Amino acid sequence: MNKITTSLAVACLCSVPPLAFAQSGSLSVELNKFEPGEANGCQAYFLFRNDTGKSFEGFEMSLAILDANGVIDRLLSIDAAPLPVQRTTLKLFAIPDIDCGNISEIVLHDMPVCKPQNEDNTDCFEFLELGSKADAALVK
């Protein structure tokens, strides 16, 4: 009976698609720094570290920008694609009409697109890691 159970277990493991095991790393997003931008705006520098084993052809984030009082000032959508596999990518995004010192927190509230190359859109929240070296926090 043990041989039958073992054979069935091995057969089940072998029939699982390889994509189920392909997602082993993380994709980290770091708010690295702010600099004053044009017309009273703020320039945000983000580092994306893709250790997932997959390249991403689509990666859009919807962010809530909170002011110094913790009140939502605006929503900002950013497109960081492409994100090559096993690379760190620097992306700059303008946050118009707000002083960098008046941003207390940036909240990731939605990811409308997280699409590995040649695959369907997926839920990135489970392997996404956020951090900040700037004065403002970057959180989920």
> Domain range for residue 86?
22-139
Quote the number of domains for the chain: 1
Q: Which residues pair with 94 in a beta bridge?
A: 43
Interval 81-119: pLDDT, tens: 999 999 999 999 999 999 999 999 999 999 999 999 999
Per-position pLDDT tens, the chain of length 140: 544 444 444 444 444 333 333 456 899 999 999 999 887 899 999 999 999 999 999 999 999 999 999 999 999 999 999 999 999 999 999 999 999 999 999 999 999 999 999 999 999 988 999 999 999 999 99
Q: Is residue 82 part of a domain?
A: yes
C-alpha 140/C-alpha 130 separation (Å) is 7
User: pTM of this prediction?
Assistant: 0.80
Does residue 113 lie in a domain region?
Answer: yes
95 close to 103: Cβ distance less than 8 angstroms? yes
How many Å apart are CA 62 and CA 59, to the nearest integer? 10
Q: Which amino acid is at 46?
A: F
